[in-house]
Amino acid sequence: MKIAAAALLAALTANQSSAFAPTRSVISSTKLSSTVQPPERTAPDAGYIPDWEGRTGLSPEEFIASDMSKPDLSGMWECPLTRWDSENIDVAEAQKICAQQPHCPLEMKATAEDNAKGAAYFSENKEQIRADLLKYGAIWFRGFDLMKSVAGNREMHEALGLDPCLDPLHSSGLRKFASERDALYEEVNKPSLRQHYIGLHNESTAKRTAAYAAFVCFQRATEGGGRFLVADGAAILAELKPETLEKLYNRKIRISVSNLDIPPSLPGVVKEGIKGLVDVAVAPKFDMDLEMIYESDGKPGRLQAVETAESPINRHPVSGLPVWFSNSHNHARKLRDRRPCGVPEVGMTEVFYADTMEPLDLEDCQEIKRASEKHITALSMEPGDVLLVDNYRALHGRDVFQGDRFHAVTWFTWDQNEAWRGDERRIVEKNAFNQAINQMMDWLPKDFESNQS
């Protein structure tokens, strides 16, 4: 998930003295808000909220067990480069085409006969499932017994011919493996982030994007909440006000993925030295094209790691359909400040107009919120359920939850196009940095609440 914001959480602060640590007690006014007091927080909306069915799963010892007779997938493919095709899009025509697309996700509910077939159900229906994935953008496999375990989940995606790859933000340390040999990442289940609402996003950066994903539920949240969110990028594009969409498409956006607050009174030469140190020693460890910029959001002394300019509309690499391909709903500060958020200041994000590097205004943020949340399906995923996602078409997120929750995800590269897939594979020996950051993320207290200033 692209809360890569927390990507630099440990890396930027691990070796800093306390004088450089972000304070949580000072509230100041910046370009991000017009008042000193933070705005009221309200839970985001969803267009469709299916009922729970009360299905049970396996014990943790049972569902986590890997099939040791299967080959080790830890040396999986690198996440492929992002495929951009965003020039010369007729926005009005794109909205007309997107308005004609079917509802996302397609729901496929298992029958007793389907469950009796096990993995054979997926191999027998492979071509139709792959065609439906392209057509609908996501498929919710509901009530399948096969995927109640790590081993069965792997059987499912192997039967479909999907080829695992790394998370585009693997080096960030935000994610850890649930089963490394099965190419299965644990979803964002960390206790410190359970009260953090994860907004809609594609699993992508300006540089790398997974082609597909399979999100699986092994254990729903024990004390409530934790619905998985999915929305169609085509539906969002069709829904947005034409003037807002044209404005964002023409101006493009840039996303800041981290804040490092240093004392603004430091001499300029010292601040430039810190900027250079972060740029040379830390940023390269994250597989993103980042520019270190001071005070883009108006906060004195704030150093932000900002991605390159990108279009919020992109043509789907296979179908050519123009879709909303933007993480703005997740990353816009004005939206994060108005909903449950459990990310420390160093991990807070912002979305800027690329031409002026000014944060998106509240009106545009609210329109992105309205159009996006109208088309959210807040899935009631239970043990064995899988959401298969076309990552260039559908956006995903996660609601807050209470108790313990265990969802996981496998990312996939282009299995039918070697040129798009590339020839890079994971170098397992370089995993130490990832593991170190993940351990530091686990040190955050449960139900951490950030200071939104």
The pLDDT assigned to 319 comes to: 98
What sign for the dihedral angle of Cα 303, 252, 394, 422? negative
What sign for the dihedral angle of Cα 251, 254, 260, 262? negative
pLDDT, average across residues 287-313: 91
> Considering only CA atoms, which of 209, 299, 207, 291 is closest in space to residue 256?
291
Instruction: Collect all residues with Cβ–Cβ distance below 8 Å to 7 and sequence separation of at least 6.
Output: 169, 172, 173, 174, 257, 258, 286, 347, 437
Summarised one tens digit per residue, pLDDT across range 63-74 is 999 999 999 999
Q: Is the pLDDT of residue 263 over 60?
A: yes
The pLDDT assigned to 426 comes to: 85
What sign for the dihedral angle of Cα 330, 335, 340, 344? positive
The pLDDT assigned to 195 comes to: 92
Measured CA to CA, the distance from residue 176 to residue 173 in angstroms comes to 7
Please give the mean pLDDT across all residues of the chain.
Answer: 87
**244 CB-contact burial (10 Å; exposed 0-12 / middle 13-18 / buried 19+):** middle
Q: Which of 43-57, 253-267, 284-298, 420-434 has the highest mean pLDDT?
A: 43-57
Measured CA to CA, the distance from residue 132 to residue 81 in angstroms comes to 24
Q: Is the pLDDT of residue 268 over 60?
A: yes
pLDDT, average across residues 174-200: 89
Give SS3 for 427: coil
pLDDT, average across residues 284-290: 75
The whole-model pTM stands at 0.87
pLDDT band at 173 (very low <50, low <70, confident <90, very high): low
Q: Is the pLDDT of residue 445 over 70?
A: no
